[in-house]
Amino acid sequence: MDRTIARLNQTQFSHLLALDYDSLDPNTPWLNPDNFPACFANQAAFEAEFLSGDVGGSSQTFNVISYDYDPTVGAQSGLLTVEGQSGLSRTRVQQRVPIAFRPGTFPGLLGTYDVSIGGNDVEGVEGNVVCTNLEQCPVSCTGDNNTATELNLLAAINGNENTTMIGGSIFLGNVNLPPVLTFPGVITGNGNGAYTIPAITTGPTTLPRSTDNPNPVDNVYHYQVPSIDLGGNSSQQLIIDIKAGESVYLYLQGDLTLSGNATIVTRVVDALDMPILDASGQPIDVPPAAVRIYGNDDALPDNMTNQTIMLNGNTCLSAFVYAPNALMGVNGGGSCSPNIDGAVWVKRWDGSNGNGVEISVPDGIAAALGNSTANFANNTQAPEDWSRQGVN
């Protein structure tokens, strides 16, 4: 029992804490190839290493019988059943353990199909890089006990050990992501803060508009926009001005392209809609996750995308981007630093070239996302109860 729980707390296995297992069910989630931990090429290797083994000698063995995950919010737990055998004697032990997200394991950059990071940098305490498709991010495991070294992991995302800087960790494996938020629809009288707006192709364009009001329940402005395509000089801006406690969610139907010196500027404004300045006279940026860009969530083949989000030249973006069917990247890098201030969850991060591209993942973004957050690792807490059962 202790050995299995210790394994489940290791980063490469801890995602299994939020999935079920039944040794009698061949379709049980732990045995879904999408959920195999990195470094395990097939089911036989995973079962031999994790689901059974010897304890203190060849005559003493154990087998994991089942694991039942209870996802109740605020009270997540798992019930683990392990059977031990010594000679002809068999005993089953059940133990329930509380489950909690492991701090510092928020995906700052995530690709569900592939991540080809090149010389890009992902900065910050939450600057973790995640690829959930082990076929497209294959890893060689040359570390002790069938584990991947840092260089193994970096190679799996096509990183460069001399130019790629990762502020957090690299994780290869499945992650339980929250649903993609969808546009709530306009209610007559705009009582829910939802608006459909035309494609944004010229700047400066400011949101919210003077006639817009946020949803009175959560202070969110919801905008459905066909596409955003800005390019040229520094006047080509999408300016998002929000007051303290407000948020803006953009529901992008098509592509987002910023070129030249075009940018999406985010600022906190006062009651008179004037930007609030910091001690150096610069506009205060909005809090983490206050500006979000949600993409399409259509069912597509694994390797297909239907949106492109691309930053070219000296462009900047400050937002949380969650676009499950998008290809995203930065061409160039330019003088903007960081190129992206926020987090990116897409299908493919495979559009960047050149060194010097920076994604800065702000502290506190995981907490700011609330129920829309995710983590790639879990921890067990002190066991709540356990029981012993005889086996005929």
pLDDT tens-digit map of 222-258 = 999 999 999 988 889 999 999 999 999 999 999 999 9
Closest alpha carbon to 136 in 159, 115, 106: 115
Query: What's the pLDDT tens digit per position in 96-107?
Result: 999 998 989 999
pLDDT grade for 369, boundaries at 50, 70 and 90:
very high
Instruction: Give residue 333's pLDDT.
Output: 62
Give the pLDDT band (50/70/90) at residue 59: confident
Most confidently modeled of 130-144, 245-259, 279-293?
245-259
At 142 the pLDDT is: 82
Does 247 or 388 have the greater pLDDT score?
247
pLDDT band at 112 (very low <50, low <70, confident <90, very high): very high
The answer to whether residue 190 scores a pLDDT higher than 60 is no
Q: How sure is the predictor about 389, in pLDDT bands with cuts at 50, 70 and 90? A: confident
How far, in Å, CA of 255 to CA of 122, rounded? 23
pLDDT of residue 224: 97
Average pLDDT rounded to a whole number, residues 42-57:
80
pLDDT above 80 for 144: no
pLDDT band at 185 (very low <50, low <70, confident <90, very high): confident
Q: What is the pLDDT of residue 351?
A: 61
- Average pLDDT score, the chain: 89
CB 1 within 8 A of CB 95: yes
Residue 14 has pLDDT above 70, yes or no: yes
Q: Is residue 130 very low, low, confident or very high in pLDDT (cuts 50, 70, 90)?
A: very high
pLDDT at residue 90 is higher than 80: yes
Higher pLDDT: 233 or 143? It is: 233
Residue 331's pLDDT band (cuts 50, 70, 90): confident
Q: What is the mean pLDDT of residues 381-390?
A: 82
> Which of the listed ranges 37-41, 344-348, 378-382 does the model predict with the highest average pLDDT?
344-348
Q: Are strands 263-268 and 317-332 parallel, antiparallel or unpaired?
A: unpaired
Does 58 have pLDDT greater than 70? no
Query: In the predicted model, is pLDDT for residue 360 greater than 80?
Result: yes
Q: Please tell me the least confidently modeled range out of 50-59, 103-112, 157-166, 359-368.
A: 50-59
For residues 316-322, average pLDDT:
93
